[in-house]
Structure 1
């Protein structure tokens, strides 16, 4: 009973408790975005970031993607249940059985999409500017979420995702009810140093805490 009560308290109160309150945006810093579809969150970053030398097409190591998306400007990264992702093809909502099975520990995928332009800030899109040091941490954490093959390269799981502009790669970690896609976003941004909720299986609180991040005062871009 007590573990269940503790979980419920964390579930309902954790979304209101911010971590990294001291985070301030960096004027002129690296632009990133957190995008939600209402349930799930993705982290969107520049496809190439010259100040840090980050090139995601190079890091993904997929020649066909490099040829197709060389002129795109942003890449989106999300993490989640392999069962849920693969049952969502064609815009389908997975059945109750799939949702229940996803609540137990299971394999995961990284969902990678490509944007020709930056997402437009709005109800489901939060735009931020972070320092180059913060971006380097974020890029490292994103890279660590992929499950590499024996050569260290990212493993493409499917030749296509929901559209011709997104793909699935094998990921690290196990998905379950206490470690959801939004928990992955929270953990990744928390370790980067951004303001996030203590715990949020849902997308809404993630966006709300990020919106409370204040612009830096008198900070020079790093």
Structure 2
């Protein structure tokens, strides 16, 4: 009986903590920043890709004076020919979660717990991709050249010194990154922060993938 009560208490505590976290995330995303932002009629198009859990920024390799070819070269790829694609998809996150989880079937409870507790070992996951097609999970956003350069500075500032590691397939690689990953600073919070610093209308805190695009 005592063990059953303890188990019930633990489960209720976990449920309450999850509810608080979810509510805080929704409130943070509803607190809009850069309220007066509007996309320009012409500019640099980027995309936000959302797989339901994680978001990536997809950017043209050459635009507004930014040249990602010098930063994310084909030499880091298992198949360098993919570097011929005109766009890069960049996401930030915890190394163990990224590197050890090529598919969701590979996800382990220990990996989730370690990432949630927090880790200083973070990476940028960079994929060389063709121009995305806008759809349910892909949102196009047009930026002014100045906004795109600010966005690029945030991404570039997240890159740390060190050698990249080849990724899951021939077209991607992992680069050492700055920053601590935890429940407050998630991969999606990073995406939202990059957009916010670029000047885009976005929530103050976006820990969930669905909340990144709320105001776009």
TM normalised by structure 2 equals: 0.83
Whether the 8 Å contact between 2:126 and 2:175 is mirrored in structure 1 is yes
Whether the 8 Å contact between 2:43 and 2:143 is mirrored in structure 1 is yes
**1:202 lines up with 2:208 in the alignment:** yes
2 CA distance for matches of 1:16 and 1:48? Answer: 33
* Structural RMSD (CA): 2.2
Note closer, same or farther for the CA distance 1:103–1:24 as it changes in structure 2 (3 Å cut).
same
Deviation at 1:192, TM superposition (A): 0.5
Note closer, same or farther for the CA distance 1:128–1:8 as it changes in structure 2 (3 Å cut).
closer
Note closer, same or farther for the CA distance 1:148–1:164 as it changes in structure 2 (3 Å cut).
same
Whether the 8 Å contact between 2:80 and 2:171 is mirrored in structure 1 is no
Structure number with the higher helix fraction is 2
**1:126 lines up with 2:139 in the alignment:** yes
Query: Pick from 165, 175, 195: which aligns with 1:169?
Result: 175
Deviation at 1:62, TM superposition (A): 5.4
Aligned to 1:58: 70
Whether the 8 Å contact between 2:25 and 2:208 is mirrored in structure 1 is no
Aligned to 1:184: 190
Note closer, same or farther for the CA distance 1:36–1:9 as it changes in structure 2 (3 Å cut).
closer
2 CA distance for matches of 1:162 and 1:70? Answer: 15
Whether the 8 Å contact between 1:41 and 1:185 is mirrored in structure 2 is yes
Query: What SS class does the counterpart of residue 60 from structure 1 fall into?
Result: coil
Structure having the higher Rg: 2
Number of equivalenced pairs: 197
In the alignment, structure 1 segments of 5+ residues that lack a partner are 150-154, 211-222
TM normalised by structure 1 equals: 0.81
2 CA distance for matches of 1:70 and 1:112? Answer: 11
